[in-house]
């Protein structure tokens, strides 16, 4: 579901500039599946799919698969269009050290939105 | 290429708010019924650039938009210090009423968005006789905190970046990217701690409980319009508010928390009939 984050680096050159000093590793969970995502200088350098025995990460975003699918629609419905909107509906949980996420909030929003079908891609 | 000049005039003026000297910036355009517009938390009057350029509105309304103290081109009050800003209900009411009195506006229409959409409810409770009508955009009686606002002002996070990131998500994915970017840009230009300080009013001090029942729509007509993509003040919350007051609300499609700024073309379709009705 989130494997293709690594496949779009070419298209995300502008996005990488927004996070050029960011090096981190975070996890996205759909409850049943987990994805460990590595970022170096704003580029996604690795996406590893679980299950994991002892995963190490800085922060974690957890929502059900269904909620992530709604978020990834080409034109998501109100309440599913943004990770803070999902937080507000209590369908997404932020955990861990949130500093990398909050200090690069727009970057992470656009990174995840880049997985939406191209016609409504929100990259700047 | 010749410059296409807009009909907007910018002004600076000095007056006292609660006995403290302020230097305030405002813009205006048009002639007729005064329409005072209130911007959202952490932003400034540029959000109303489309209204200030709308020929149809300017024929019948004198549109006036001021930057709150600490915001946009308005100065902080005398003897201010960075990090000490906190908007209270009382001070917000004072600055609006002082501005209206200072410009000697008689029975203006006041339209506010977000925190502005909240304060018009307080104005409706306390001064209904002073206004021809009140328009609330993204109005809700209260808001429970749903994220930790301390992230908006801490020295190890760039305030402009995080405030922009928060504002971006509040807009509809269907709004034009250029308008969304400019709306976000205003947030990126706010002073340290100002957005957070405004949210003290929005999430704590300005919450209205049962007092909302004191609003009497027959004393001053109230209009409520809310964008469907807003998750801060949701259409459901505005509907609940409207039901308590006993009025209808309008749910605006394809817009979020900043209708006048993120998608002016769509917003004006909803605003024109309201202004026609007031006129």
The CATH number linked to A18 is 3.30.1050.10
What residues of B are in contact with residue A121 (Cβ under 8 Å)?
none
Which residues does chain A have within 8 Å of residue B237's beta carbon, measured at their own beta carbons?
Answer: none
What confidence score (pLDDT) does residue B57 get?
A: 98
**List of chain B residues with pLDDT < 50:** none
Q: Does A13 touch chain B (CB under 8 A)?
A: no
Tell me if A121 is assigned to some domain: no
Q: What was the pLDDT predicted at A11?
A: 61
Q: H or E element: which one contains B24?
A: strand B20-29
* Residue A123 located in a structural domain: no
pLDDT tens figures, A100-114: 999 999 999 999 999
Query: Given pLDDT bands bounded at 50, 70 and 90, which one contains residue A118?
Result: confident
pLDDT of residue A116: 92
Percent of chain A residues topping a pLDDT of 70: 92
Looking at the predicted structure, is the pLDDT value of residue A59 above 80?
yes
Residue B158 has its nearest CB partner, among A75, A87, A103, at A103
A60-102 per-position pLDDT tens digit:
999 999 999 999 999 999 999 999 999 999 999 999 999 999 9
Residue A100 included in any domain: yes
Structure tokens at A120: 């409504």
Whether the ipTM is more than 0.90: the answer is yes
Q: Which of residues 220-249 of B touch A (CB under 8 A)?
A: 228-232
In A, residues 56-95, which contact B (CB 8 Å cutoff)?
Answer: 75-76, 78-79, 81-85, 87-89
- Tally A–B CB contacts below 8 A: 64
- The whole-number pLDDT of residue A119 equals 63
Contact between A106 and B165 using a beta-carbon 8 Å cutoff: yes
Q: Which residues contact A69 (CB under 8 A, 6 or more apart)?
A: none
Question: How far separated are the first and last CA of chain B, in Å rounded?
Answer: 38
Put simply, whether A101 touches B (Cβ < 8 Å) is: no
Sheet architecture: strand order including B33-38: B9-17, B20-29, B61-66, B33-38, B109-113, B133-137, B222-227, B249-252
Residue A3: predicted pLDDT: 87
Which residue of chain A comes nearest to B253, CA vs CA?
A: A78
Q: Is A9 helix (H, G, I), strand (E, B) or coil?
A: helix
In this complex, do A122 and B177 lie within 8 Å of one another by their Cβ atoms?
A: yes
At residue A122 the predicted structure's pLDDT band, cuts being 50, 70 and 90, is very low
Helical (H) or strand (E) element with B89: helix B89-102
Q: Chain A, 14-33: which have a CB under 8 Å from a chain B CB?
A: none
Domain assignment of residue A89, yes or no? yes
Q: Which of A86, A102, A110, A117 to mutate to test the interface with B (most CBs of B within 10 A)?
A: A102
* Mutation target among A73, A82, A108 for the B interface, most CBs of B within 10 A: A82
The number of residues in chain B equals 279
CA distance B112 to chain A (A): 22
Q: Select the residue of A79, A87, A104 nearest B147 (Cβ to Cβ).
A: A87
**Residue A7 in domain:** yes
User: A10 falls in which pLDDT band (50, 70, 90)?
Assistant: low
Contact A109 B165 (CB under 8 A): yes
Contact A105 B166 (CB under 8 A): yes
* Cβ-defined contact of B157 to A102 (cutoff 8 Å): yes
Q: What is the pTM of this model?
A: 0.95
Rounded to the nearest integer, the mean pLDDT of chain B is 96
- Would you mind telling me the total number of residues written for chain A in this entry? 124
Q: Does B6 touch chain A (CB under 8 A)?
A: no
Q: Where are the domains of chain B?
A: 9-278
- The residue range of the domain holding A106 is 3-116
CB contact under 8 A, A89 and B168: no
Assigned domain for A122 exists:
no
Q: Give the whole-angstrom CA distance, residue B176 versus residue B262.
A: 7
Per CB-CB distance under 8 Å, the chain A contacts of B172 are 78, 81
Number of domains in chain A: 1
| A10 lies in some domain | yes
Chain A hits for B262, Cβ within 8 Å: none
Instruction: Determine the CATH number of domain B9-278.
Output: 3.40.50.1820
- Among B260, B255, B222, B227, which Cα is nearest to B241's? B222
Q: What is the pLDDT of chain A when averaged over all its residues?
A: 91
The confidence score (pLDDT) of residue B138 equals: 98
B211/A contact by beta carbon, under 8 A: no
Q: How confident is the model at residue A123 (pLDDT cuts 50, 70, 90)?
A: very low
pLDDT at residue A124 is higher than 50:
no
């Amino acid at each position: 579901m989130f494997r293709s984050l690594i496949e779009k680096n070419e298209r995300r050159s502008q996005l990488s500039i927004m996070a050029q000093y960011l090096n981190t590793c975070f996890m996205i969970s759909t409850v049943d599946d987990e994805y460990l995502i590595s970022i170096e200088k704003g580029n996604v350098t690795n996406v590893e799919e679980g299950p994991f025995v002892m995963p190490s990460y800085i922060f974690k975003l957890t929502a059900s698969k269904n909620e992530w699918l709604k978020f990834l629609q080409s034109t998501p419905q109100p309440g599913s269009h943004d990770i803070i909107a999902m937080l507000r509906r209590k369908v997404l949980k932020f955990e861990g050290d949130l500093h990398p996420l909050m200090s690069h909030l727009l970057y992470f929003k656009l990174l995840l939105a880049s997985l939406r079908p191209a016609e409504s891609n929100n990259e700047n | 290429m010749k410059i296409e000049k807009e009909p907007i005039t910018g002004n600076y003026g000095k007056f006292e708010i609660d006995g403290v000297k302020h230097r305030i910036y405002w813009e205006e355009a048009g002639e007729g019924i005064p329409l005072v517009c209130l911007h959202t938390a952490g932003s400034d009057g540029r959000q109303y650039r489309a209204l200030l350029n709308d020929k149809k509105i300017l024929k019948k309304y004198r549109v006036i938009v001021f930057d709150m103290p600490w915001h946009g081109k308005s100065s902080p009050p005398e003897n201010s210090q960075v990090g000490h800003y906190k908007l209270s209900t009382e001070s917000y009411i004072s600055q609006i009423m002082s501005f209206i009195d200072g410009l000697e506006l008689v029975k203006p229409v006041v339209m506010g968005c977000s925190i502005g959409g909240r304060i018009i409810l307080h104005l409706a409770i306390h001064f209904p006789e002073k206004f021809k009508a009140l328009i609330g955009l993204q109005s809700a009686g209260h808001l429970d905190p749903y994220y930790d606002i301390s992230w908006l002002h801490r020295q190890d996070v760039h305030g402009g970046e995080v405030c922009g990131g928060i504002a971006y998500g509040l807009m509809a994915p269907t709004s034009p990217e250029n308008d969304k970017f400019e709306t976000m840009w205003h947030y990126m230009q706010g002073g340290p701690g100002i957005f957070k300080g405004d949210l003290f009013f929005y999430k704590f001090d300005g919450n209205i409980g049962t007092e909302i029942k004191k609003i009497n729509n027959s004393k001053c007509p109230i209009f409520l319009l809310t964008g469907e993509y807003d998750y801060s003040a949701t259409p459901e919350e505005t509907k609940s508010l409207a039901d308590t007051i006993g009025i209808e609300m309008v749910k605006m499609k394809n817009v979020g928390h900043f209708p006048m700024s993120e998608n002016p073309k769509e917003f004006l379709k909803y605003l024109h009939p309201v202004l026609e009705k007031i006129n």
